């Protein structure tokens, strides 16, 4: 599902600049993602893909430009003829619409699976414990983890932890789900289980998804648009069937053949 022309994009980057010291990672980046779009970011290591997701989670601050979620500016707005910072409270409201699953799961190790999933809905969204548990149980079923409900996360395999992390992100009912190389830390034989869960979410929800992955087959199945990054710039953009079979740019071609032969 993609938005009709004229709809407000779910995500918009306008001239976004991000530097780490002298290292200019994003140098005036512009792109947008329509509501319900599934967009994969590909590109060599260090090209800025994770930085984009971290900016969207406000885990990093940009050095310029605007990031908008559903048309709402995230960090700054133009008011009274000058740029002013968005108050923290409003920023948190916008931030809540975005969920992220990380490469390294980032679960709370001293909590059970269930506690991990209900923590934010109760404390951030103010849901009752009963409602949070009911939703968590639905999600545990969806990711095939019902039996591990009361286990500590340290007792789970990487693939199981990642499925819990997906359930935890979904428990906040995000409009946008960011997936950062969610299978990279997993043994090859369990990658398929996690991809199956994500495929299911892509098929059965209208969540906007922005994913960074080296699993090209997965990107092909799940996304409807692929953006190829190099040095913080989009050098090619196309539907997966086009970019994976007949890339326009030499740099994309090189990158894809290196990934496939790995």
Ligand X SMILES: Nc1ncnc2c1ncn2[C@@H]1O[C@H](COP(=O)(O)OP(=O)(O)OP(=O)(O)O)[C@@H](O)[C@H]1O
Query: Is 161 among the residues that bind ligand X (CB under 6 A)?
Result: no
Q: Three-state DSSP class for 126?
A: coil
Regarding 262 and contact with ligand X (CB under 6 A), the answer is no
Part in contact with ligand X (CB under 6 A); list of ranges 44-52, 139-147, 155-163, 201-209: 44-52
Helix H or strand E segment including 192? helix 188-204
Shortest separation between residue 22's beta carbon and ligand X, angstroms: 10
CA distance 153 to 156: 5
- Number of residues assigned to the chain: 262
CB 224, min distance to ligand X, A: 21
Taking the CB of residue 211, how many other CB atoms lie within 10 A of it? 26
With contacts defined by CB under 6 A, name the span among 5-13, 19-27, 110-118, 149-157 that binds ligand X: 19-27
- Write the Ramachandran bin of 10: left for phi over 0, alpha for psi from -120 to 50, otherwise beta: alpha
Size of the site for ligand X (CB under 6 A): 11
261 binds ligand X (CB under 6 A): no
252 binds ligand X (CB under 6 A): no
| Among 192, 187, 188, 106, residue whose Cα is nearest residue 153 | 106
The one among 4, 23, 126, 262 contacting ligand X by CB under 6 A: 23
Q: Is 48 in the site for ligand X (CB under 6 A)?
A: yes
- Closest CB 18 distance from ligand X, rounded Å: 8
Among 7, 15, 20, 30, binds ligand X (CB under 6 A): 20
Contact residue for ligand X among 3, 24, 32, 46 (CB under 6 A): 46
Of 213, 240, 246, whose CA–CA distance to 226 is shortest?
A: 240
Based on CB atoms, which residue is closest to ligand X, 42 or 140? 42
Write out 86-113 in H/E/C secondary structure: CCHHHHHHHHCCEEEECCCCCCCCCCEH
State whether residue 147 is helix, strand or coil. helix
- The encoded tokens of residue 181 equal 């190389």
Task: Report if residue 183 touches ligand X, rule: CB under 6 A.
Answer: no
Question: Which residues in this chain contact ligand X in the complex, by CB under 6 A?
Answer: 20, 23, 25, 43, 45-51
């Amino acid at each position: 599902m993609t938005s009709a022309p004229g709809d407000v994009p779910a995500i918009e980057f306008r001239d976004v600049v991000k530097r780490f010291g002298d290292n200019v990672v994003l140098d005036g980046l512009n792109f947008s993602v329509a509501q319900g779009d599934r967009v994969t970011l590909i590109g060599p290591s260090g090209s800025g893909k994770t930085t984009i997701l971290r900016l969207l989670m406000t885990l990093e601050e940009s050095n310029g430009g605007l990031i908008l979620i559903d048309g709402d500016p995230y960090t700054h707005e133009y008011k009274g003829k000058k740029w002013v910072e968005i108050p923290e409270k409003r920023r948190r409201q916008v931030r809540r619409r975005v969920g992220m699953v990380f490469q390294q799961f980032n679960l709370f190790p001293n909590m059970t699976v269930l506690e991990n999933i209900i923590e934010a809905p109760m404390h951030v969204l103010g849901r009752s414990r009963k409602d949070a548990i009911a939703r968590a149980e639905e999600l545990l079923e969806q990711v095939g983890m019902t039996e591990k409900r009361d286990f500590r996360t340290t007792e789970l395999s990487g693939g199981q932890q990642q499925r819990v992390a997906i359930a935890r992100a979904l428990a906040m009912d995000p409009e946008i789900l960011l997936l950062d190389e969610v299978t990279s830390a997993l043994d090859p034989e369990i990658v398929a289980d996690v991809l199956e869960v994500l495929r299911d979410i892509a098929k059965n929800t209208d969540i906007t998804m922005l994913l960074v992955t080296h699993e090209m087959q997965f990107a092909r199945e799940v996304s409807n648009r692929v953006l190829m990054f190099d040095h913080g710039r989009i050098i090619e953009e196309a539907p997966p069937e086009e970019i994976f079979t007949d890339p326009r740019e030499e740099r994309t071609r090189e990158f894809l053949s290196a990934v496939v032969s790995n």
